[in-house]
Amino acid sequence: MASQKPILIAGAGPTGLMAALWLTHLGTPFRIVDKHALAASTSRAAVVHARTLEYYRMLGLSEQAISEGRVVRNMAFFGNLKEIVRRKFNDIGGGKSKFPFILMYPQDLNERLLIGELEKRGVNIEREVEVTGLTQNDEYATVTLKNKKGEEENFEASYVLGCDGGQSVVRAHTNIKSTPGAYAQRFFVADVEGEVSVGLENVNICFNANDFCLLFAMPNGRIRLAGWAPEESVNREFGFSDVEESVKRNTGAIVSKVHWFSTYTVYHGVAETFRDGRVFICGDAAHVHSPVGGQGMNTGLGDASNISWKLAAVLAGKANPDILDTYQSERRPFAERLVNTTDKSFSIATNRGYVGWLWRTLVMGNIAPLIFRLGLLDNTLFETLSQIRIEYRDSALSNGNRVSNLYAGDRLPWIGFGDTGVDNFNPLDSLNWQIHVYGDLNDNVKTFGEEKNLKISNFPFNEEVKAKGISKDSVILIRPDGYIGQLIEGNSGDHIDRLRAFMDKWGIKAF
């Protein structure tokens, strides 16, 4: 019998708040605590990608996020203040998602969005409450919580989500090992006002042979700058005046006001496991990496979306506990790939020696712009940045199931149906298991849907559907997070029996 004790979420940053909102939608009891008195008040992470906006849409929040953020539709390379190449995200991402752009929507606004929605639903975030101890047995975890008065309580939780950052206290009380490395360079990030010579409609990658600077516009009219510390400043505290000349040299920016300036060391690494018994770690507690591509916050939000529906299902008796093992097998490989790709590129690009000089002059100055201009990596670029390429094909939950080039564990391909305003992601806001049929819907599918209490969405089969790898009359069983659970090519009784066997094996029932 599944434990009915509440879940404890430690950490009310974007990852913890996202988990709380999923659990709220699914009617799962929980507590969420955070040691800080207030939510984030500075912008910090700045980028929201298409996959996160798809999750926000499922939760009814995408329109608000877009209205409050700033849509950036281009990526541009500038070398020595000369534009080398510019590409429109819609050219490389159009037809792949409803959101073929990057949204500048910083961490403080993300937190405010999620907190506002939780407050509407009556959720109380317990602030100035920190985790000081944690033990667990086969039935529950006991978490010691201390409030601002120094009073302690022992809280019994069915499961614990450690969403409490890179220095996770929750992780420290488990057997999970995490030993991230650090880059030698120190970096800066700043939100400023001023005049620039590069386009504010772009994500601008500005560089010369010796250094670089990222520049893009924020939703509040400010400009985000990011780069590295001057070589002579690496071992001491430094301020904007120390980097102002480098910023001007790379971006042409004449800064009139600095609203926020911070320096930091970049860490990189992935925890050896994301689970220890009844404890799961998410976001920075599980993986830290370079800021290349704005992947950090988005990855944490994806972690939360993956584990939350599984926990909700297990606690409600709508899935076998074995399904919880798939959180690590699905999310950790992606985190490892992220560290091994973006971080290696970041390490080379920020190298102060000959290798870095060669990378910035030859690769960033010539090869990368040529590849962009010719569109040779368009699919890879958008799908990787946007995180719509993340797939769980090797998950035990996917079981190697495939039809043609579409696999269980793939994100459901997004398909718009002309100017109707309808697309195949519309039904995903149920956050529930469901069936999609593209083509003719027969009685076998209807009967199975009724038996398993699954909503069925019937879409026309056309050339766009075919181009996305979906076979005519195929039946697709969709997970609550919008990934393909299983799919069959055909709708006979034998075909349907395969879906029935899959659901029965995992104990899956609709919410």
Looking at the structure, do residues 213 and 257 belong to the same domain, yes or no? yes
130 forms bridges with which residues in the sheet?
Answer: 146
Looking at the structure, do residues 282 and 140 belong to the same domain, yes or no? yes
With 90 as the cut, is the pLDDT of residue 163 above it? yes
Looking at the structure, do residues 36 and 169 belong to the same domain, yes or no? yes
Which CATH number goes with the domain that contains 201? 3.30.9.10
Total number of domains constituting the chain: 3
Nearest of 174, 220, 233, 163 to residue 8 by alpha carbon? 163
Which CATH number goes with the domain that contains 435? 3.40.30.120
Report the pLDDT value the prediction gives residue 350, as an integer from 0 to 100: 67
Quote the pTM value: 0.94
With 90 as the cut, is the pLDDT of residue 351 above it? no
Rounded CA separation 82/511 (Å): 55
Q: Give tens-digit pLDDT for 376-392.
A: 667 777 888 899 999 99
Report the pLDDT value the prediction gives residue 234, as an integer from 0 to 100: 59
Looking at the structure, do residues 191 and 253 belong to the same domain, yes or no? yes
Which domain covers residue 480, as residue numbers? Answer: 402-506
Nearest of 274, 35, 312, 314 to residue 174 by alpha carbon? 274
- For residue 53, the SS3 value is helix
CB 213 within 8 A of CB 188: no
Percent pLDDT > 70 in the chain is: 95
Looking at the structure, do residues 424 and 290 belong to the same domain, yes or no? no
Report the pLDDT value the prediction gives residue 343, as an integer from 0 to 100: 65
Looking at the structure, do residues 264 and 331 belong to the same domain, yes or no? no
- Residue at 500 is within a domain: yes
Biggest CA-to-CA distance, the chain: 73
By CB atoms closer than 10 A (0-12, 13-18, 19+), residue 154 is exposed
Looking at the structure, do residues 25 and 147 belong to the same domain, yes or no? yes
DSSP single-letter state for residue 423:
B
Looking at the structure, do residues 82 and 229 belong to the same domain, yes or no? yes
How many whole angstroms from its chain centre is CA 474? 29
Q: Give tens-digit pLDDT for 180-194.
A: 888 777 889 999 999
Report the pLDDT value the prediction gives residue 233, as an integer from 0 to 100: 59
Report the pLDDT value the prediction gives residue 158, as an integer from 0 to 100: 98
Looking at the structure, do residues 410 and 461 belong to the same domain, yes or no? yes
Average pLDDT estimate for 484-498: 92
Q: Comparing 229 with 109, which gets the higher pLDDT?
A: 109
- Residue at 338 is within a domain: yes
User: If pLDDT is split at 50, 70 and 90, which confidence band does 230 have?
Assistant: confident
Looking at the structure, do residues 242 and 331 belong to the same domain, yes or no? no
- Residue at 432 is within a domain: yes
Report the pLDDT value the prediction gives residue 385, as an integer from 0 to 100: 86
Looking at the structure, do residues 188 and 172 belong to the same domain, yes or no? no
Q: Give tens-digit pLDDT for 267-313.
A: 889 999 999 999 999 999 999 987 777 899 999 999 999 999 999 99
Q: 69-73, 151-155, 168-172 — which is least confidently predicted?
A: 69-73
Q: Give tens-digit pLDDT for 426-470.
A: 999 999 999 999 999 999 999 999 999 999 999 999 999 999 999
Average pLDDT estimate for 53-62: 98
Per the prediction, the chain carries an average pLDDT of: 91
DSSP single-letter state for residue 360:
I
Looking at the structure, do residues 186 and 302 belong to the same domain, yes or no? no
Q: 106-110, 250-254, 350-354 — which is least confidently predicted?
A: 350-354
With 90 as the cut, is the pLDDT of residue 216 above it? yes
Average pLDDT estimate for 402-409: 93
- CA 304 to each of CA 138, 320, 498: distance values in angstroms, whole numbers, following the listed order: 23, 19, 29
Dihedral sign for Cα atoms in the order 418, 423, 424, 427: negative
Report the pLDDT value the prediction gives residue 41, as an integer from 0 to 100: 67
Average pLDDT estimate for 133-155: 97
Q: Give tens-digit pLDDT for 326-344.
A: 999 999 999 998 888 766 6
Rounded CA separation 83/22 (Å): 43
Average pLDDT estimate for 131-160: 97
